[in-house]
Amino acid sequence: MDASKSRRTGAILVVLAATLWSTGGVGVKIAVAEPLVIAGLRSVFALAFMAVVLAIAIVRRGEPGVLGALLRRPLVWGAATSYALMVVCFVLAARRTTAANAIFIQYTGPVYVALLGGRLLGEKVTRRDLVAVGACVAGMALAFGGELGGGRATGNALAILSSFGFAGLPLLLRLDQQRLERSAHAAHAPMVAMTLGNAIAAAIALPAMIAAPPSGPAAGRTWLVLAALGALQIGLPYVLYGIAVRRLRALESSLLATIEPVLSPVWVVLATGETPSALALAGGAMIVIAVAVQAISGKHR
């Protein structure tokens, strides 16, 4: 596959992944459980889904030793830790501050990618990239700015930690891909890292899951919601993201993922009837335009 087709395929896969990620807000609202329990059980179901996909891929390629080799790579562990930090802290932040705060602060991640991508990866950050980053930040500030003052310090701090994980994941995956470029293991590294990340997230939440599992009249529905979140809102999209990240620059994958906070309120509207403000609609439109222009006109190195 030539570079332009590969990049286009990667962009489509990230958009599909971001669309699935965006359904998480509704799922978390429906689930009746403590935030850390939601984060942990979601990761347990995602871990099961992604482990099966990874095992099938390894068997099909006939590479039984690849898992052990990749688990000895520090960058794989770094990416896995970033993933766990992102998914756990976001759920905790969403319960301790406004949803707008959690989303906006987490999606400042592309700014860190833009600042660090050149030094760490040698990927040239163009003026177009910087304009796209600025437009995304401005769009989210416009969409959610009216609600940012209502958050609490603890939730905002957790959202900042989530944004570090959001930025660290594509940076470390791309750095590892560069070092594995001529290795047969390169195709499996993103999936191994994110599967491992779910295991780390589940381990962090294990005491909470044991102490307060879903119970009561809504327990059955909560278990179904968490299973769906794990497999379809986390597992499947990260399988798509793991394929896509090898085809895109780190900043491109981060910018395309900002479609998630634009779509998330749409599902809330459909599920609850809440209507976004005119500022929210304008901010969302700004983000979509910025990402679309950057994705269509940017050049893949």
- Among 31, 73, 79, 83, smallest CA distance to 203 is for 83
pTM for the predicted model, two decimal places: 0.79
What pLDDT does 45 receive? 96
Q: Report how far apart, in Å, the C-alpha atoms of 279 and of each of 144, 245, 293 are.
A: 8, 32, 21
As for how many domains the chain has, the answer is 1
The three-state DSSP-derived secondary structure of 285-296 is HHHHHHHHHHHH
The stretch 8-19 carries a mean pLDDT of: 87
Instruction: Answer with the residue of higher pLDDT: 107 or 168.
Output: 168
The 10s digit of each residue's pLDDT in 68-92 is 888 989 999 999 999 999 999 988 8
What pLDDT does 43 receive? 95
Q: Which domain holds residue 153?
A: 3-297
Instruction: Answer with the residue of higher pLDDT: 117 or 241.
Output: 241
Handedness of CA 190, 191, 197, 200 (dihedral sign): negative
Residues in the chain: 301
What pLDDT does 299 receive? 45
- Among 63, 65, 33, 67, smallest CA distance to 50 is for 67
Distance CA 202, CA 198 (A): 6
Contacts of 187 (CB under 8 A, 6+ apart): 57, 61, 246
Enter the DSSP assignment of 2. Answer: -
The stretch 274-296 carries a mean pLDDT of: 67
pLDDT band at 93 (very low <50, low <70, confident <90, very high): confident
Distance CA 182, CA 164 (A): 29
What pLDDT does 146 receive? 55
DSSP for 265-288, written as a single string: HHHHHHHH-----HHHHHHHHHHH
Burial pattern 247-270, b for ≥16 Cβ within 10 A else e, equals: bbbbbbbbbbbbbbbbbbbebbee
Distance CA 219, CA 294 (A): 44
Tokens of 29: 């609202």
Instruction: Answer with the residue of higher pLDDT: 56 or 155.
Output: 56
Identify the top-confidence range among 4-18, 100-114, 130-144, 217-231.
217-231
What pLDDT does 300 receive? 41
Tokens of 267: 């599902």
